[in-house]
Amino acid sequence: MIMQKTPSLILASSSITRRALLDRLNIPYQIDKPEIDEQVQAGEQAAAACLRLAQQKAHTVALRHPQAVVIGSDQLVACGNHILGKPHSAERAFTQLRMLSGQTILFHVAVAVIDTHGRIQTSFETVTAHMRDLTDAEINHYIAQERPFDCAGSMKSEGLGVTLLESMHSCDPTAIMGLPLIATARLLRGAGINPLGTSDQILCAARSWRSPPSC
């Protein structure tokens, strides 16, 4: 049976959460950590920085794998004039969450996909979240349980982080976790990888070993 070859896929991230999200699409992929400087530049707005970093991650890994489709993604948390990245320590996590307590915060999430021809597509979304008024005891318990040191704004929303919120408004429920799957699936289709089509091809190939192809 002759089938069109699907390009290989690489996720430019070592994030366990992003891997778990991408696993939902049932597409084989590899991991390659981009190892870039993720600092926000002086005077740079959170939304612009988020989109730049997602593109930079994808470009860095695509240079090493020119025959693959590459996904890069980034997330930054903004509260007023403050831009929050990963805390990397319990002390900084506590400081971030104490500042966010009772506030309305913005989760800026960007995804970039580079295809095998070097063409890039991007998508950007902002999730608005309203934080509860948190006690110091609640913050310390959350940090001890979740250790959210690699999460922007110390918000591990796929775990106990959801209990820190009063409400959330988003077009994509996965966006707040760092990889918006609705946008990612759309960009992958544009790069020649259809999550549904890929599944059909795999199923059809498996059937072809046992009986004449019917798809």
What would the two tokens of residue 180 be? 């918006």
Backbone phi, then psi, for 193, in 5-degree steps?
A: -120, 110
Largest Cα span, the chain: 65
- 3 state SS of 176: helix
194/107 Cα distance (integer angstroms): 27
Rounded Cα distance between 60 and 58, Å, is: 6
Which of 23, 32, 37, 74 is the catalytic position? 74
Clarify whether 74 is annotated catalytic. Answer: yes
Residue 25 and residue 195 in contact, taking contact as beta carbons nearer than 8 Å: yes
Q: Say how many C-beta atoms besides its own lie within 10 A of residue 138's C-beta.
A: 16
Assigned token pair, 166: 């009063």
Which residues are CB-neighbours of 176 under 8 A, at least 6 positions away?
A: 107, 109, 127, 129, 155, 157, 168, 170
Write the burial class of residue 113 (CB in 10 Å: 0-12 exposed, 13-18 middle, 19+ buried): buried
Alpha helix segments (H runs only) across 35-89: 46-64
Residues known to be catalytic: 74
